[in-house]
Structure 1
Amino acid sequence: MPITTADVNRLRQAQSEAVRLAQGELQKLWFELSDMPPARFRDALMELIPALVRRYQEVGGTAAAQWYEIVRAYYFNDTFDTHIYYGDKTLTDAQQAADTDLRRLIRWKAGVLWDNGDTPANPDELFNFLNNVVDSRIRDTARYTVRGNARRDPRKPRYARVSNAGCCAFCALMSSRGYVYKSEDTASFSGSSSFHRNPKTGEETCRCEIIPQFRSGDNRIEGYSPERLERRYREAYDMLNDGTLPDDWAEDMKAKGISTRRATDPSTITYVMRRLHPDAYGDGIKP
């Protein structure tokens, strides 16, 4: 029984539900604490938000681990004990460093709780930032959980980064490799082992999922065609290598500090991909 679109949708829906519950709890917490003086409010958030995030990382990670067991059972009858992962470690082992990092982010962003010269305090900016961080950390845990279990599975499945319709050019570039990942050495996603987000807002801009393939050519995921994605990538790559880049594109790239020569640079290749196929990507560049 192949892994299908319905299976991928179940994985995504489980994460969306975990995010919904976590953000609802964040909203309640915010209203309970927001009348505090800014310094006390910041310190309370630094103490309470990591625990909230951890709780729902466990919810989303458990759902992802169970999902992996279910789709694995389509092919094998043997027992495989799954774990929850965050990054390259189990969630338990990664938690202390993750909590410290989150507290650092909150302290940094909490500056908006105070007036700054002519700029008034803007607590809503911090609230939106925290909502986005909650979203990304829960979804990342699910992705890392599927990837981590695929890596340690004795059946050694390959797995792919599967993008969704309307994804950005970067996600399409990473997804174009198809089901080639199977180990620590081959799964770094070309130097980007994490999933990207807006560095200013923390907003999750990636909706990719990590999907295993237990039998070559078996998966049936509607809309995911690594062959089509690779053709678009190759078209951009060849244009850069052949020196056929339009002059106005080259001038715009130089003005933005993007190399026009390094076809292996993701910033370079995705710029050309977005220009060549503006309607194919959520961040396409139209004339």
Structure 2
Amino acid sequence: MIPYDAVAGYSALLGQVRSAAVSDLDRLAASLTGLPVAEQYEALSELLPDLGQRYEVAASKVTAEFFSELQQMQGVRKPVSPVELDPVSRASWQALAGWSTSGKTLAERSANDVLFGLLSGGFTRRLTEAASDTMVENAAVQGGMRYQRVPAPGCCAFCAMLASRGGSYTSWESATRVVGRGQSVEYRRRGGAKETRPRGSQKLGQTFHDNCRCSAVAVAEGNEVDLGAQAEKYFKAYADARDEILSRVRMETDVWMDRDKSRHTDSYRVDENDDRVSSKELTNRMAALMRKAAA
């Protein structure tokens, strides 16, 4: 078992990176308060990518160092040398600038709220994803590892639900549905030129929300992070919500014939109102029930 304190120490270092990033972002936002929207966007498009990429590199470095510690703690044979990842493109950061300074957003809240509240949420989520991408990519190269989502104390219901799975996310699942971040670790190890391809950690529990403090931790087969009493609490909260939500839906099956007289079946869930319920909606309802129970 990997001691929870070891992960807590890693999370604390990432927290320091996030805090420093938010402080710098706050100073940048304050310098733009009161300017016309067009000027805010122009300034952010120029300055935000440099700031964001600098802290992405810092988050990746902290994670690469922790991955090396994880290899030692778990006695990994023939450990690979961890590699830090490239930051996402400037265009990606410019997209965040455009979203946070959109006319519609500014009409809903004051400019200062937008520049600090919305920007800081999106900013810190990207740092969390940079750290998790680094963990996932290096573990994929190492091979034979799974991933565990480790929440911070006082996490939201959604994160608690995902944490209840323990170390059950596989490397294949964790690296399939993502955004591009430039070179892959394996390609860089071979000395290849830069490339952009889908990679990363969004599949690890589906997503990281704004201001999320969860950590993605690579664990060897049969191992996991020792969450102690927290693990039982998370699983019970999830199991109770799951059983309650599933009791409110039923399976329906439609049978139909196509033009070639081939028989087809379509199975789906419906709720008390006879509305179809997707898997994503089921997850959302479970998380909502967990939030209500924790309130």
2:130 to 136, 141, 162: 141
CA–CA separation in structure 1 for the residues paired with 2:67 and 2:24: 27
Aligned residue number for residue 227 of structure 2: 221
CA–CA separation in structure 1 for the residues paired with 2:214 and 2:106: 38
TM-score normalized with structure 2 length: 0.69
CA–CA separation in structure 1 for the residues paired with 2:30 and 2:155: 34
The answer on 1:102 being equivalent to 2:93 is yes
Instruction: Give 1:170 deviation, angstroms.
Output: 3.1
Contact kept in structure 2, 1:160 and 1:178, CA below 8 Å: yes
Deviations 1:136-168 (A, max 9, x none): 1111111221122222213x1122223344434
1:183 to 160, 165, 171: 171
The answer on 1:284 being equivalent to 2:275 is no
Aligned residue number for residue 266 of structure 1: 280
Aligned residue number for residue 141 of structure 2: 152
Contact kept in structure 1, 2:52 and 2:93, CA below 8 Å: no
CA–CA separation in structure 2 for the residues paired with 1:242 and 1:39: 51
Q: Which ranges of structure 2 fall in alignment gaps of 5 or more residues?
A: 178-200, 252-270
1:111 to 95, 102, 106: 102
CA–CA separation in structure 1 for the residues paired with 2:106 and 2:239: 51
CA–CA separation in structure 1 for the residues paired with 2:160 and 2:98: 34
The answer on 1:208 being equivalent to 2:214 is yes
Partner SS, residue 73 of structure 1: helix
Aligned residue number for residue 81 of structure 1: 81
Q: Which ranges of structure 1 fall in alignment gaps of 5 or more residues?
A: 85-89, 198-202, 244-249, 276-280
Contact kept in structure 2, 1:80 and 1:153, CA below 8 Å: yes
CA–CA separation in structure 1 for the residues paired with 2:127 and 2:222: 30
Partner SS, residue 104 of structure 1: helix
Q: Which amino acid aligns with 1:126?
A: L
Matches within 5 A, 1:11-50: 11-34=10-33, 36-50=35-49
Q: Which amino acid aligns with 1:150?
A: A
Aligned residue number for residue 200 of structure 1: none
Instruction: Give 1:120 deviation, angstroms.
Output: 8.6
Instruction: Give 1:239 deviation, angstroms.
Output: 1.6
Q: Which amino acid aligns with 1:265?
A: S
Aligned residue number for residue 236 of structure 1: 244
Q: Which amino acid aligns with 2:16?
A: E
TM-score normalized with structure 1 length: 0.71
RMSD: 3.5
Aligned residue number for residue 91 of structure 1: 86
CA–CA separation in structure 1 for the residues paired with 2:242 and 2:32: 52
Partner SS, residue 83 of structure 1: coil
Q: Could you say if the C-alpha distance between residues 187 and 260 of structure 1 is closer, same or farther in structure 2, counting changes exceeding 3 Å?
A: farther
Q: Which amino acid aligns with 1:8?
A: V
- Larger % of strand: which? 2
CA–CA separation in structure 2 for the residues paired with 1:120 and 1:212: 40
Q: Which amino acid aligns with 2:207?
A: F
Q: Which amino acid aligns with 2:281?
A: S
CA–CA separation in structure 2 for the residues paired with 1:134 and 1:269: 25
Partner SS, residue 91 of structure 1: coil
Instruction: Give 1:110 deviation, angstroms.
Output: 1.4
CA–CA separation in structure 2 for the residues paired with 1:115 and 1:265: 34
Count of aligned pairs between the two proteins: 248
More displaced, 63-72 or 162-171? 162-171
Instruction: Give 1:130 deviation, angstroms.
Output: 1.4
Instruction: Give 1:185 deviation, angstroms.
Output: 4.0
Partner SS, residue 171 of structure 2: coil
Q: Which amino acid aligns with 1:20?
A: S
Instruction: Give 1:172 deviation, angstroms.
Output: 3.2
